[in-house]
Every structure is written in C-alpha cells, then in structure tokens.
Chains A and B, each alone.
Chain A
Amino acid sequence: MQKKEKTTLTNEEISRYSRQLLLPCIGTAGQEKILKSSVLVVGAGGLGSPVLLYLAAAGIGKLGIIDYDNLETSNLQRQIVHSEKNVGTPKVESAKSTIQNLNSNTKVETYNLLIDKSNAMDIIKEYDIVVDATDNVATRYLLNDASVFLKKPLVSAGALRMDGQLTVYNYNGGPCYRCIFPTPPPADTVTNCNDGGVLGVITGIMGSIQALEVLKIVTGIESSYVQKMLLFDGLTGSFRQIKIRPRNPNCPVCGDHPTITELIDYVQFCGAGAHDKTPNLKILDDKDRITVHDYKSIRDTEQHHVLLDVRETVQFNICSLDNSLHIPYANLHKQLDILKKENPNEHPVYVVCRRGNDSQLAVNFLKESGIENCFDIVGGLDEWAAKIDHGFPTY
C-alpha cells in the first residue's frame, strides 16, 4: 500500500474549504498550494472586485491590491468588493476591509499608489501571479513587460460596454501581450468605461474567469487560456475562443533577441495617461469659447441664441438643459439642416457636450461648414453642474 503524506490542513481549514477539497482536481494538495500562494491584483475596480472576492474566499495566502483611486458612487454599480459607506476613501482600504470580513486568514497587502516603472518591479517580484484588472492601456503594457522580466504569469482581462476579453499571457510557452498587440491604439480611439459605459455583470463574468484561471495555475491544473483568447459578447451571450499565436520569437520584450530589456515610459509609449479619465482637450482659441458663467448670464438675460447639445442620444436622455437642440456629434454632418432651420447666422450658436471635448470638435466643424458665429461652452455640462447648478445630474 502506498503511504501518503498527511495533509498539513488544520481542521478549521478542512471544514472551511471542504467543497473544493472534494474536487479531485484540487483536493488537499491543491488547497495547500492555494494557502501558500500569493497573487497581485492590479486594479480594485470592476474586474478586480470578483477576482479579490473569489481568491480570498478560496483561501489564497496573500493578496496584493494596487489602486490609487478613491471610491466614487458611480463605482458601486460594478465594483462589488466595495460598499456605500466607503465612498470617498481609498479603494485599496475599502477592498481590504471587505476581504478581511470574508476571510481573515488571507494576508492583504495594499498599495495605494499609481503603479509605474519606478515601483512595478519591486512590487511584482513579491508575488507568484499577476492579475491585470486595470482600466487603461499604459498600465497593461507596463504589467506585461514587468511580468515578462520577472517570469510571472499574467492573467489579463478587459471589459467594456457588453464585451469582454481574457487571456493568460507569458505562461507555458504562450505569448505576451505585446506578441498579440504590438502597437498601442492611438489615444483618441480608446473608449474607457467612463465614457463608453459597462454593465457590472460583464466585469463580474470576466473577473470571475480570471479568478478561476489563477486557481488553476496555483493548483497545477492546466490553464485554459494560454495561447487562447476568450471573447465574451454579453449581448448575444456568445463565448468564442480564438487560438492565438505562441510566443513570438521576434517580440521586442519576450522574443529571442529582445530590444526592450527594462521598463520604459508607458505613458509616452501609449500617448495616454495611466488612468481611465478622459483628458480635457484644448482645440479652440479662447475667442471661440465661453465659460459656463458667461453662458449662464446669456440665459438669464434671455439673449436670443441656439444651444446645440452634441452628446450621444443615451447621454442626452439622462439629462439636458432646457431648450437644447440635440444633434449628436457623429451625426452633425448628416443633420446640419436641422441646425440651419434655426437661422444660425442671425444669432450665436453655443455648443455643449459632457466635458467640452466633442463640443470643440463640433465648433470646428460648424465653422468649416460656414456657420461662423458659434462657440464652445468650456467644460461642458459637468462644469455647468459644478459651477452653476449643483442640482444638475452628473454621470
């Protein structure tokens, strides 16, 4: 008869984790590995929330959480590791308190900071696995390169609107993120959850699968997404698996002759900040713009004008100023006749959007189309809500 080593699990651990101990693919040996493992979760948001909850529940020994944001009310719709009472406090602390209520045996290390080239290597080297649950392109390339240099598997997912993507990079001969996406997208083509929206269940599904893959890697079960990308379409309910390439021998980071051998400036590389905030553009001269205060007095003194709101219809339906003429920026070229009916050359047109970026592009377009007397309202409706009408909704 074969003599088996006795498990090191305590009675408390045996009863706590019994449902997964009963799985032949995990068992006592798998649980012992889970308890000894350490996982770094970068981003305590929509993806990071289910990752943290399920990994803590499963008994991961040490969880690192990196996030530099404070919790906002608009996070709660999807970031289920947080709760209302913590709004305004650092997300890492909020997540830590939830995790410790769930499983006090899990050691939690918090990093209330922006991960960048100066600190990434020191933090990541302390962990077995890295989970990319970030919300921006620059941090995705940073985590990829650091994981390659430190030989850590990178369990990566992204979610936006009703779509999700997931791959395990840099593991078992599979590619790194750069092998698949060598070129970062132009900054002005990247839609973030802040602008594009996302349903909480979508990040929940993708984050849950990330947690599953982490547990498989930790316990030695073969990961299902090495050299495979999962595409989830929440609208049609379809899960597609794309067979992706193995490691690219010509990859600048993980290839046979790498040209990038230390962390670089990722904000410069991507042309976009390491966050999901929309930058405020300044496209127009000051003479083509007015402040919300000036616009307020135009309204108060009932000066004849057209207020053109160029936001998408879903945003316009949330809230708008009275007497707005609504033409989404994307449709402006097709629907210019609607504006022309308002005799725009006889009185000024003031263009507004959510934050004052599209409205500037719209003013440029109108001027090119022969409508000269038009102005952008600086900062858009967000600024209106902040400076003029505190009762105006923000989203």
Chain B
Amino acid sequence: MKVLFFAGAKDVTNSTFAEVPQVQSVPELLEQLVALYPQLSPILPTCMLAVNLEYVELSGKDADGNEIRLKETDEIALIPPVSGG
C-alpha cells in the first residue's frame, strides 16, 4: 500500500512516498514505516495521519473513536506540522 510523505516526512526520507506491505491496522502500518525508514521514528509521534483524505489518530481510531481497517487501495498520508513562515 502507498503512503504519501509531506513536508518534514518527505525531507527525512528523501522520498515523496513509500510502498509498504499490506497491513490491516494503523499501528502495524507505522511499524512497517519505521522499519523501512528508521529516521521517521523521532517525528512520527508528532505527525498527523490521513486515510483517503480523512484524519485518523495515530492509535488507528477515526474522529468518532472507531478503529479503522486499512485496504490495499487506501491513500495514506503522513503529515508532520509545518511551522516555518
């Protein structure tokens, strides 16, 4: 499955996206990401995650508190805050 990197995530990975093996939950996905890009681990807890353009908590819950299940076709985005100006 494809994970898009934004801002600082793009900078530390030197990449705009990652292909990760299919997983079902967000915590599993984050594990895969750190395995591929260990340099993500310090910024990961401060990032926002979006699945199909919708906010998801890093714990894998959506805004209503429901556990989300990931599908192969999902567009996942890893979005660290941008604080420059």
Chain A positions within 8 Å of B, measured between CB atoms, are 43, 45-48, 132-137, 140, 157-161, 163-165, 180-181, 183-186, 188-193, 196, 198, 203, 229, 231, 233, 240-246, 276
CA distance in complex: A48, B84 (Å) = 12
A165 proximity list for chain B (CB < 8 A): 7, 79, 81-82
Also in contact, A43 and B85, with CB within 8 A (given A165-B7, A185-B46): yes
Tell me whether A245 and B8 are in contact (CB under 8 A).
no
> A196-B84, A240-B53, A242-B55 given. 19 additional CB < 8 A pairs?
A134-B83, A158-B84, A158-B85, A159-B84, A160-B7, A184-B46, A185-B81, A186-B42, A186-B43, A186-B46, A188-B42, A189-B42, A190-B83, A229-B48, A231-B6, A233-B6, A242-B79, A245-B63, A276-B84
Between A and B, 19 residue pairs with Cβ closer than 8 Å are: A132-B85, A135-B83, A157-B85, A159-B84, A160-B8, A160-B83, A163-B10, A181-B46, A189-B42, A191-B8, A191-B84, A193-B84, A229-B48, A229-B79, A231-B6, A242-B48, A242-B77, A243-B55, A244-B63
| Cβ-based interface call for B50 (8 A) | yes
B85 proximity list for chain A (CB < 8 A): 43, 45-48, 132-135, 157-159, 193, 203
Chain B positions within 8 Å of A, measured between CB atoms, are 6-8, 10-12, 42-43, 45-46, 48, 50, 53-55, 63, 77, 79-85
Tell me whether A196 and B11 are in contact (CB under 8 A).
yes
B43 proximity list for chain A (CB < 8 A): 185-186, 189
Tell me whether B48 and A244 are in contact (CB under 8 A).
yes
Partner of A246, one of B45, B48, B63: B63
Partner of B82, one of A46, A159, A183, A184: A159
A198 proximity list for chain B (CB < 8 A): 84
Tell me whether A243 and B84 are in contact (CB under 8 A).
no
CA distance in complex: A164, B82 (Å) = 7
CA distance in complex: A136, B10 (Å) = 19
